[in-house]
Structure formats: structure tokens, C-alpha cells
């Protein structure tokens, strides 16, 4: 390459700007390097540490992670209740960083629906199933006949049509949560957020609620993001995103594959997430097994990248070694 082929600084800057603009351009939900810092009694807690997440329209995504990993913080941001400290967050046409108070109310009424862990927060105790679903429609000015039609339709989709005339106290926890999903969908939001919707339920009832979310996604086309501790969730969704230390760390993708004899089977594959800065979180068991602490060696091979402890390197000479640029063990970012 001659000197004249070198891109100018201006050209490099322009390229970087274009790349930023393109991130998640076609996604319905875009979280770009989200940071949320809480100040509590003079102590700083970084709940989100540069989190990247894209959700396409029509997806059903579960977000899992240990307690304190940042799941609820992320959901508060996406539901318009909280504003991140830095980064970019967009849901459909709504830029959640710069919305006014009035826009925030409109966003929460028209674009998104919510199901919370506590059933009492989702349904009104003295209203029947039908009345609960019809309530947000009445607030939106929908006429009685249409309200009842829509309530009956949604309760049927969720498999709880028989709860139409029952009050929440006459329903099981799982039935209440499925009615709650119907309530959240009354105003036809594009996205449904569910925060630990099975947190107070046993495993059999949890199954019904997660299947309810799946039915809504498949039959109504609603994009669903569910935050959960429930280990059984990945069986019900196509994509499970794990959050660790305020960042997306790995994803399990489930695909249906067809065998040679034409029969179908589901294959689940776990992938590490490489974020926009080139960071990958190494699972603790990998770090422990090879005692990866502090610095590691990286090498670019023909088809993959090798990583090993900052001790004498393996005998085979890799194609291109980065040992001189040792990276921190938590993140292989460069
Ligand atoms: N209002 C707040 N003030 C100070 N720190 C907070 C606040 N909210 C959350 N945090 C801290 O931010 C981090 C992430 O919390 P968050 O509630 O998002 O985690 P989580 O993954 O939802 O946990 P859990 O599964 O237990 O609900 C934690 O360390 C938590 O203590």
C-alpha cells in the first residue's frame, strides 16, 4: 500500500460515524452501549456497563441472569420508567433517551404493554376477567361492544376464556397471569415486556404462562421480551440472552432442523456475545479451568482466535500472535 492509499483521518471518522448509524438500523429494539450508574449513599453502582442488545420485530426473547446482573434495570429503561446514564436506546420510532414526559406517557400507552411479577400489580381485584381486559380499552375511549369483543378474543387466545366472569380471587396464580397478559395486550401494543411473570408460580403453572407468551407472539405477532430466573424458559423461546455484570454475555438460539428422513428436531446452541467494542465475556468455568487471571495471550488463527494463560505459549506457532498485546482476562477486547 502506498502512502496515498492510506485513508485520511476524516475518512476514518466518517466510516466510524456510518457504522454507528447502522447499528440496529432495522431492529425494533436497539440498546447501544447502555450505561446506567446509580448513586447510593456516595457509592456508585454500575448496573448496566455498556450493554448492547438488538431485538427484531416479531421475536420472542428471554433475558436471564443472576440476581443483580442488571435485568430489571434494563427492563425499567425499555419500559420508559428510567433513563440510562449514557448510550442509545430506541424502541420502534421512540428514542427513549430524549422523550419528553408527555411522550413517555404516550409511549407507555400505545407502544408497549407490561406484565409484572406480582399479580396484584397486573389485575384489579374487584373486576372480572372481562372487565380487567376492557378497563384499558375504556380509558382509550373504545365503545362497550368492541371492548367486550376484544376482551373475549384475548382471553380465548390465552386459553382463559372460562375466567371471563371470575374475579382474580377465583382464579389460580397462573390464570391471573394469563389474564394479565390479555390486559397488557388490550391496546394492541407492538411490544410486550414481562418481568418475572412466573416468579410466584410453580413449574407446571409457569409452563402455561410461558406458553401463553409464545401463543401471543405466534398468533398476534407481538414482539415479546421476558425477563426471568426461570431455568425452563429457554424451551419456550427462540432466543435466550444471558446478562452478566450489566452486559449481554451469551445467547442460546433454538433452531428447528430437518433430518434426512424429513423429521424435524430442535437444536439449541449457546454462543458467546461479541460486543461492539470487541469484548467477549469468558464463562467463569473456562477461567477457572485454565486459571486465566489478569492477562491472557491471543492469537489469530486461520479460522478462529486462540486464547491461553500468560504463561509459555503452546508449541505450534500461530498464524499471527498478539502475545505482546496481552488483554485483561475478563474481556478479550482489543
Ligand atoms: N435504585 C437503585 N439504587 C442503587 N442501586 C441499584 C438500584 N437499582 C438497582 N441497583 C443495583 O444495580 C445492580 C443491578 O440491579 P438489577 O435490579 O437491575 O438486577 P437484576 O438482575 O434485575 O436482579 P434481580 O434478579 O435480583 O431482580 C445491582 O447491583 C443493584 O443493587
Listed in sequence order, the residues at least 6 apart from 170 whose beta carbon sits closer than 8 Å to its beta carbon are 163
253 and 185 in one domain? yes
304 and 230 in one domain? no
Question: Is 127 among the domain residues?
Answer: yes
Strand partners of residue 244: 247
189 and 64 in one domain? yes
Q: Give CA separation, 286 vs 67, 69, 173, 242, 295, in Å.
A: 21, 19, 40, 17, 14
- Domain encompassing residue 293: 284-328
Could you tell me the distance, in angstroms and rounded to a whole number, from the CA of residue 72 to the centre of ligand 1?
A: 7
The candidate with the shortest Cα–Cα distance to 29, out of 48, 65, 51, 57, is: 57
Distance, CA of 11 to CA of 17 (rounded, Å): 10
The answer to whether 91 touches 74, Cβ cutoff 8 Å, is: no
Question: Is 277 among the domain residues?
Answer: no
Half-sphere exposure of 195 (CA within 13 A, CB side): 18
Could you tell me the distance, in angstroms and rounded to a whole number, from the CA of residue 71 to the centre of ligand 1?
A: 8
Which residue among 42, 46, 53, 71 is best mutated to probe the pocket of ligand 1, counting the most ligand atoms within 8 A of its Cβ?
71
Phi, psi of 37 (to 5 degrees): -110, 125
177 and 298 in one domain? no
260 and 156 in one domain? yes
Listed in sequence order, the residues at least 6 apart from 328 whose beta carbon sits closer than 8 Å to its beta carbon are 294, 295, 296
Question: Is 12 among the domain residues?
Answer: no
Question: Is 88 among the domain residues?
Answer: no
Q: What is the CATH number of the domain that holds 117?
A: 3.40.50.300
Query: DSSP class of residue 216?
Result: I
Question: Is 255 among the domain residues?
Answer: yes
Q: Give CA separation, 255 vs 17, 50, 260, 272, in Å.
A: 34, 28, 16, 17
The total number of structural domains in the chain stands at 2
The candidate with the shortest Cα–Cα distance to 168, out of 223, 103, 118, is: 118
Could you tell me the distance, in angstroms and rounded to a whole number, from the CA of residue 43 to the centre of ligand 1?
A: 13
292 and 196 in one domain? no
195 and 64 in one domain? yes
Helices marked H in the chain — which ranges?
9-22, 71-78, 101-110, 119-122, 129-139, 144-157, 173-185, 203-215, 284-289
The answer to whether 295 touches 276, Cβ cutoff 8 Å, is: no
Per-residue model confidence as pLDDT tens for the chain (334 residues): 444 556 676 776 676 666 555 678 889 999 998 999 998 888 889 999 989 999 999 999 999 988 888 999 999 999 998 999 999 999 999 999 989 999 999 999 889 999 988 888 889 999 999 999 999 999 989 999 999 999 999 999 999 999 999 999 999 999 999 999 999 999 999 999 999 988 888 888 888 899 999 999 999 999 999 998 876 787 888 899 999 888 888 888 888 888 888 888 888 888 888 877 788 888 888 888 888 888 888 888 888 888 888 876 556 555 555 544 444 545 444 3
Q: Is 46 in the pocket of ligand 1 (CB under 6 A)?
A: no
- What pLDDT does residue 324 have? 43
Domain boundary among 224, 240, 272: 272
Question: Is 29 among the domain residues?
Answer: no
Q: Is 73 in the pocket of ligand 1 (CB under 6 A)?
A: yes
Could you tell me the distance, in angstroms and rounded to a whole number, from the CA of residue 276 to the centre of ligand 1?
A: 24
Q: Is 71 in the pocket of ligand 1 (CB under 6 A)?
A: yes
Q: Give CA separation, 299 vs 165, 296, 308, 316, in Å.
A: 65, 10, 9, 11
The candidate with the shortest Cα–Cα distance to 253, out of 4, 60, 11, 28, is: 60
Query: Ligand 1 atom 18: the closest Cα is on which residue?
Result: 70
Distance, CA of 91 to CA of 80 (rounded, Å): 10
105 and 190 in one domain? yes
Atom of ligand 1 nearest to the CA of 227: 22
Question: Is 126 among the domain residues?
Answer: yes
The answer to whether 299 touches 320, Cβ cutoff 8 Å, is: yes
Q: Give CA separation, 331 vs 1, 3, 120, 283, in Å.
A: 32, 34, 42, 10
Question: Is 168 among the domain residues?
Answer: yes
The answer to whether 36 touches 84, Cβ cutoff 8 Å, is: yes
| Three-state secondary-structure class, residue 259 | coil
Could you tell me the distance, in angstroms and rounded to a whole number, from the CA of residue 45 to the centre of ligand 1?
A: 9
Take residue 294 and report the three cell numbers written for it.
Answer: 489478569
Amino acid at each position: 500500500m502506498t502512502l496515498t492509499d492510506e485513508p485520511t483521518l476524516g475518512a476514518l471518522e466518517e466510516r466510524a460515524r456510518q457504522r454507528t448509524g447502522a447499528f440496529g438500523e432495522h431492529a425494533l429494539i436497539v440498546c447501544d452501549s447502555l450505561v446506567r450508574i446509580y448513586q447510593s449513599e456516595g457509592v456508585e453502582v454500575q448496573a448496566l456497563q455498556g450493554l448492547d442488545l438488538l431485538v427484531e420485530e416479531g421475536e420472542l426473547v428471554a433475558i436471564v441472569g443472576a440476581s443483580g446482573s442488571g435485568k430489571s434495570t434494563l427492563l425499567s429503561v425499555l419500559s420508559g420508567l428510567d433513563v440510562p446514564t449514557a448510550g442509545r436506546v430506541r424502541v420502534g420510532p421512540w428514542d427513549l433517551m430524549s422523550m419528553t414526559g408527555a411522550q413517555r406517557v404516550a409511549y407507555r400507552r400505545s407502544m408497549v404493554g407490561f406484565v409484572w411479577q406480582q399479580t396484584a400489580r397486573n389485575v384489579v381485584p374487584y373486576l372480572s376477567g372481562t372487565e380487567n381486559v376492557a378497563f384499558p380499552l375504556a380509558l382509550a375511549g373504545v365503545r362497550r361492544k368492541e371492548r367486550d369483543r376484544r376482551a373475549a378474543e384475548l382471553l380465548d387466545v390465552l386459553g382463559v376464556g372460562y375466567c371471563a366472569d371470575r374475579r382474580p380471587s377465583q382464579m389460580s396464580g397462573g390464570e391471573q397471569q394469563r389474564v394479565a397478559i390479555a390486559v397488557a395486550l388490550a391496546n394492541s401494543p407492538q411490544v410486550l415486556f414481562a418481568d418475572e411473570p412466573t416468579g410466584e408460580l410453580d413449574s407446571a403453572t409457569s409452563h402455561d404462562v410461558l406458553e401463553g407468551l409464545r401463543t401471543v407472539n405466534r398468533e398476534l405477532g407481538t414482539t415479546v421480551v421476558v425477563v426471568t430466573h426461570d431455568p425452563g424458559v429457554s424451551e419456550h423461546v427462540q432466543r435466550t440472552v444471558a446478562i452478566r455484570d450489566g452486559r449481554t454475555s451469551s445467547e442460546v438460539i433454538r433452531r428447528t432442523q430437518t433430518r434426512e428422513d424429513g423429521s424435524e428436531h430442535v437444536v439449541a446452541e449457546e454462543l458467546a456475545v461479541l460486543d461492539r467494542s470487541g469484548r467477549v465475556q469468558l464463562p467463569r468455568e473456562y477461567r477457572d479451568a485454565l486459571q486465566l487471571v489478569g492477562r491472557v495471550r491471543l492469537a489469530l488463527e486461520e479460522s478462529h482466535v486462540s486464547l491461553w494463560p500468560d504463561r509459555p505459549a503452546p508449541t505450534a506457532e500461530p498464524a499471527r500472535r498478539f502475545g505482546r498485546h496481552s488483554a485483561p482476562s475478563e474481556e478479550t477486547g482489543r
